[in-house]
Amino acid sequence: MTIEMRTTRYVWLVCAMLSLGRIYGNAQEGARLQPIGGEAYKAVIISYQYDKEVPLEARIVETDEHPEYLREKIVFRGARDNRIPGYLGIPKTGSPPYPIVLQIDGLGGSKGRWWEDENWPRGGVLTKALLSSGFAVLALDAQYHGERIAENNYEPAGHLLERHWYNTLREMTVQSIVEYRRAMDYLATRSEIDTTRIGVIGLSMGGMMTFVLSAIDTRIQVSVAGVTPIEIDSLWLTIAPFHFAERINRKPFLMLMGRSDRWYSVDQAKDLEKD
């Protein structure tokens, strides 16, 4: 199966789940990962709260017009008084308000990769397929990524992993999840967007963020998480997928996992799916 065929396949799955609310999954037998208990979970999700009274101060700073879609570069205020850039794509097919898919890249990625065909996730192929199917899309630069590299002293975010700066990586991921929650607040101000139909697709680090967002924010209606790291220690407790999987509450959720990955085993992936 070619990359384009695989991409078309999961685009179709996203569209079908958003439109019909179908649930994909297959419970497997095996050893169980142990999520944290209720009281500990309540303590963990405090990390993802933010002051909604902080004004968004959102603005459109660039417009790119295409025959099939409009792409806007937006900037809004984060919960820590920083500025969050993103690309919002709005289709010209169909009629507004449009359902929307949040796109979350992996460590070292950026909002721009979702618009480029020739890269690891082939993001542009997916984005254009979604737009042509009548879905809006939104991708942000995570903290320390893309245009926000200055927040990490102009060093690639991947250096944090190489140096084993796990606390910084954890806090970066938590903060980026909060920023996607702020982004949904912004989308609620856009009449072209149907905020009752919000989906999310995330890869690698973005897959971890997808698990958290899907569990803690009721605005997410359907999710796709790919090659999601699982085998992580207690330093990552606040973002480990297996603590959030069983709390997604039967929302349509698709996992795309590989058979050979340094961050998880096949058995762990099957165990996570069972939740």
pLDDT at 233: 60
Q: How many domains does the chain fold into?
A: 1
Domain presence at residue 17: no
Q: Which structural domain range is residue 82 located in?
A: 47-269
d(CA 226, CA 50): 27
Is residue 184 classed as helix, strand or coil in its secondary structure?
Answer: helix
Query: Global pTM?
Result: 0.85
CA of residue 134 relative to chain centroid, distance? 19
In-domain check, residue 37? no
Is 187 part of any domain?
yes
- Compute the Cα dihedral for 229, 233, 239, 243 and give only its sign: positive
pLDDT at 80: 87
Structure tokens, 220: 């997410």
Q: Is residue 3 part of a domain?
A: no
In a domain, 132, yes or no: yes
Residue 165 has a pLDDT of 85
Low-confidence ranges of the chain (pLDDT < 50): 1-31
**Residue 18 lies inside a defined structural domain of this protein:** no
pLDDT given at position 32 = 55
Please report how many Cα atoms fall inside a 13 Å half-sphere around the Cα of residue 6, on the Cβ side. Answer: 8
What is the model's pLDDT at position 171? 92
Distance of alpha carbon 57 from alpha carbon 76, whole angstroms: 6
With b for 16 or more beta-carbon neighbours within 10 A and e for fewer, the 135-148 pattern comes to bbbbbbbbbbbbbb
Whichever domain contains 218, its CATH number is 3.40.50.1820
Q: What is the pLDDT of residue 234?
A: 60
